[in-house]
Amino acid sequence: MQTAEIRRRFLAHFEAAGHTVVPSAPLLLEDPNLLFVNAGMVPFKPYFLGQETPPYGTATSVQKCVRTLDIEEVGKTTRHGTFFQMNGNFSFGQYFKEGAITHAWRLVTGHVDDGGLGFDAEKVWVTVLEGDHESRELWRSVAGLPDERIQDRDLNDNYWHMGVPGPGGPCSEIYIDRGPEFGPDGGPVVDEDRFLEIWNLVFMQEEITNVRAKDQFDVVGPLPSQNIDTGMGLERVAYLLQGKQNLYETDEVFPVIERASQLTGRTYGANHVDDVRFRVVADHVRSGLMLMGDGVTPGNEARGYVLRRLLRRAVRSMRLLGYEDPALPELLPVSLDRMKASYPELEADFPRIEQVAYAEEDAFRSTLGKGTQIFDVAAQKVKADGGTGLSGEAAFTLHDTYGFPIDLTLEMAQEQGLSVDADGFRALMAEQKARAKADAKAKKGVHADTHAYRAALDANGPTDWQAYTTLSTESRVLALLSQGEAVPALTAGSIGEVVLDRTPFYAESGGQNADAGTLTWSGHGGGTAEVLDVQRPIKGLVVHQVRVLEGELVVDEQLSADVDPEWRLGARQAHSGTHVVHAALREVLGPTALQSGSYNRPGYLRLDFGWSGALSPEQLHDVEHVSNRALREDLPVSAQYMTLPEAREWGALALFGETYGEEVRVVEIGGPWSRELCGGTHVDRSSQIGTVVVTSDGSVGAGNRRIEALTGLEGFAYLAKERDLVLQLTDVLKARPEEVPTRVNDLLARLKATEKELEKLKAAELQGAAGDVAAAAVDVDGVAVVTHRAEGVGGGDVRSLALDVRGRLQDRAAVVVVVGTANDRPSVVVALTPAAQERGLAANALVGVVGERIGGKGGGKPDVAQGGGTDVAGIDAAFAAVLDAVRVAVGR
């Protein structure tokens, strides 16, 4: 059974049971705690946490997921991948344990012809939380499982919570016995390779707090409502139903391995080392495809960095398999061909996806070329010095500076008869990871090994920071850094860090992006550097990350440091706009609507604030109105320095739970109307913000909302687009702008009325046609056979017509076959009277006869079956085949 078919059956099963089918959320679902969606329940978290009211009582989905904790481990085992799909069904107080167990059992063991997955009930084992007698009894009564196939497990295995205070509850896991060839008997408590988990049913029933470990927490009490959250691993079910050994051999993954094998001339299954590389290729190509499909592009930070690593590891693995030509153009289309059945949007967006992917591979191939030259030089030096091994530091430099994978370094060293200090390399990598974690937490730039920064500060004193007073300074280069180490020069094309004696550049802080601009010098032949980022890695020191565009920058160089004035103006407008929106929120919602975080860049701002529940359209309108009223009033903007106690006494708001020094900067707009502790850059008067256009409001966690807005020219551009849209509508509708909503509502109402009338007419037409269709029956050895082609009819209408015709022939043995041709795709329904079934005929057999001729298949019961296909040209042949099949069956 194909993966896409398993997915379809899962959704159809729960839709038939009354669940709302919810499309997969994007992998980049906005959640402050997640890089990517990593579980099927993530989109439903606001409902389970009580932050939002669910729009449905029950739901089902197949959610795209990505987990990236151990990318280096992918392929070393066959059980886990980076991208996976999680089938789930969810209940928000509608049903509980009995419902969840009943739904799961019917799908897992249901007959394939009836839409089930067809697992042998005798091979199903389950686990329950020890002491959960209710679940044990339900598995006995609902599924008929014997006690020996229901095993108890402790809190570590069979209790679910999110690791923080909130909902929790016991869970019950469903396992399939793969057979003695996979391990010893005794159920999942003995061996989880032989007994493979496919589905986890979580029974959310209590609120927990004081979470200390997976099995250590305190129960506050029962939840207001009992909820269900389940997760079925689609890939695991697929390889079980496809008779494969692991997820890498399934229909959505293995074709990439097959193509990689053709390209490299290597055979999958020949040896473990190559198998790991094949699996890395297959997993990373598919994961990269899905990430790019959801809008991720390769980069050096966060999500972009994950994608870059995936694509480059795939390319690297192909190289280690012996294939040195561009690999992604050969592999990505194969993955697309397998994934588009479930995600057709990938095909429409593939031109963009392949452009991004192939450019990334080209860049990496160039990196590999440079790295190879550097390696050759290092290897020659080792040999000239009489050595036998490459140092860990040299391997680390190749990896960190040139992006050269350690696997490739090891392979090339072996070819030259050299060893590599792998332990030294891993130690340096561990140090870098520790620095990276500290860097992410403290926002200290790309390389946060503070010894180099501390040395620069000790030698030269604090930076003379003039961002509040000027956009340009004449400055001297005090230190240059590359990869966290002091260097004498930065050459054209390189990226490094620059410490100046004075600077006009704003260093990122308080949610405001760093300034953009240039460094320009005339000494040593002159040159220019683009300022990419500005940070404060340690107190008192401002560090500029730059890309040298031309020339060479050396220590002690005199240069001009110039902030891009347009950038700074946009940043000032956005940051002052953030304060204005914050004050407007408190005016509209009350003083408890306090800012909890913010981010602003030129023309854009977002502000997180404490609030439960979505803002109404009227509230959002009021926030925007109050903000723009403040701009029209041209309020003065000023900054004053004072002690923290003085600022608090003055009523200034201290935000984010930050640690402040004794002296603080208080920015006020319109006096007490907006008074906040802030180190950002601001306009001189509120009117200079230009405009505030609120564009969105959403939830970002328990009790927190996020509002987004545009300022300045970006805000006006947004309004201009809306104006143009209204003008287009007024032209199409021949109405004045204020009449557009009424006209659109009228058109929608008329459209709905027309659709209803058309449905009535179609139903009447089909009903009227049923008599003529029945009258056209052909007698085949005493069986009335109706074969009818319903042009332009599809879905439920085909079924209705077939059943209506059968009803007119109930007094005799009759076979009714109706094929609809809506959208040039045939859909078939076969309906038999009881007398026809007594003659040995079955609808589910005849629908297969039709399916073979129209490029499809079908299924159902002996009395009624249905299916579909792709080839309308085969309909006549299908009808002829039905007549032959009936003739053979009844003529026995």
Which CATH number belongs to the domain containing residue 705 in this structure? 3.30.980.10
HSE-up (13 A, CA, CB side) for residue 321 = 32
Tell me the β-bridge partners of 58. 91
Global pTM reads: 0.51
121 lies in the same domain as 205:
yes
Tell me, yes or no, whether 819 lies in a domain: yes
Kindly report the length of the chain.
892
- Distance, in Å, from the CA atom of 287 to the CA atom of 313, rounded to the nearest integer, reads 12
Q: What is the CATH number of the domain that holds 766?
A: 3.10.310.40
pLDDT category, 478, cuts 50, 70, 90? Answer: very high
Domain count, the chain: 5
Tell me, yes or no, whether 740 lies in a domain: no
Tell me, yes or no, whether 39 lies in a domain: yes
Tell me, yes or no, whether 116 lies in a domain: yes
pLDDT category, 593, cuts 50, 70, 90? Answer: confident
Q: What's residue 663's pLDDT?
A: 79
241 lies in the same domain as 259:
no
Q: What's residue 612's pLDDT?
A: 66
Of 443, 598, 414, the C-alpha closest to 508 is: 443
44 lies in the same domain as 190:
yes
Give me the residue label for tokens 């870059």. 308
pLDDT (tens digit per residue) in 777-826 = 999 999 999 999 988 888 788 998 999 999 999 999 999 999 999 888 99
The parent domain of residue 853 ranges over 758-890
For 137, other C-beta atoms within 10 Å of its C-beta total 14
Q: What is the DSSP string of 328-379?
A: HHHHHHHHHHHHTTT-THHHHTHHHHHHHHHHHHHHHHHHHHHHHHHHHHHH
Of 794, 763, 761, 788, the C-alpha closest to 774 is: 788
- Distance, in Å, from the CA atom of 41 to the CA atom of 29, rounded to the nearest integer, reads 12
547 lies in the same domain as 586:
no
Cα distances (angstroms) measured from residue 239 to each of 162, 236, 650: 29, 5, 66
By the 8 A CB rule, do 889 and 840 touch? yes
559 lies in the same domain as 586:
no
Query: Is 170 in a helix, a strand, or coil?
Result: strand
From 254-263, 570-579, 692-701, 861-870, the region with the lowest mean pLDDT: 692-701
Task: Tell whether the model's pLDDT for residue 249 goes beyond 90.
Answer: yes
Q: Which of 690, 720, 750 is the last residue of a domain?
A: 720
- Distance, in Å, from the CA atom of 737 to the CA atom of 731, rounded to the nearest integer, reads 9
Q: Which of 428, 460, 476 is the last residue of a domain?
A: 428
491 lies in the same domain as 635:
no
- Distance, in Å, from the CA atom of 170 to the CA atom of 172, rounded to the nearest integer, reads 7
Rounded average pLDDT over 79-88: 90
- Distance, in Å, from the CA atom of 882 to the CA atom of 74, rounded to the nearest integer, reads 50
Q: How far is CA 157 from the centre of its chain?
A: 27
53 lies in the same domain as 192:
yes
Tell me, yes or no, whether 112 lies in a domain: yes
454 lies in the same domain as 555:
yes
Q: What is the CATH number of the domain that holds 488?
A: 2.40.30.130
Give me the residue label for tokens 């990896």. 399
199 lies in the same domain as 286:
no
Q: What is the CATH number of the domain that holds 62?
A: 3.30.930.10
Q: What's residue 51's pLDDT?
A: 64
pLDDT (tens digit per residue) in 325-363 = 999 999 999 999 999 999 998 998 888 788 778 888 888
189 lies in the same domain as 334:
no
By the 8 A CB rule, do 625 and 586 touch? no
182 lies in the same domain as 42:
yes
From 83-87, 321-325, 373-377, 732-736, the region with the lowest mean pLDDT: 373-377
Does the annotation list 65 as a binding residue? no
Q: In the chain, what percentage of residues exceed pLDDT 70?
A: 93
Sign of the alpha-carbon dihedral angle for 91, 93, 97, 101: negative
Does the annotation list 103 as a binding residue? no
Tell me, yes or no, whether 734 lies in a domain: no
From 503-507, 508-512, 693-697, the region with the lowest mean pLDDT: 508-512
pLDDT category, 649, cuts 50, 70, 90? Answer: confident
Tell me, yes or no, whether 271 lies in a domain: yes
Cα distances (angstroms) measured from residue 288 to each of 238, 349, 565: 21, 14, 38
pLDDT (tens digit per residue) in 709-743 = 999 999 999 999 999 999 999 999 888 988 888 98
14 lies in the same domain as 118:
yes
Tell me, yes or no, whether 266 lies in a domain: yes
Q: Which of 246, 281, 308 is the last residue of a domain?
A: 246
Q: What's residue 33's pLDDT?
A: 64
pLDDT (tens digit per residue) in 288-316 = 999 988 878 787 667 887 888 899 889 98
Does the annotation list 678 as a binding residue? yes
Q: What's residue 659's pLDDT?
A: 40
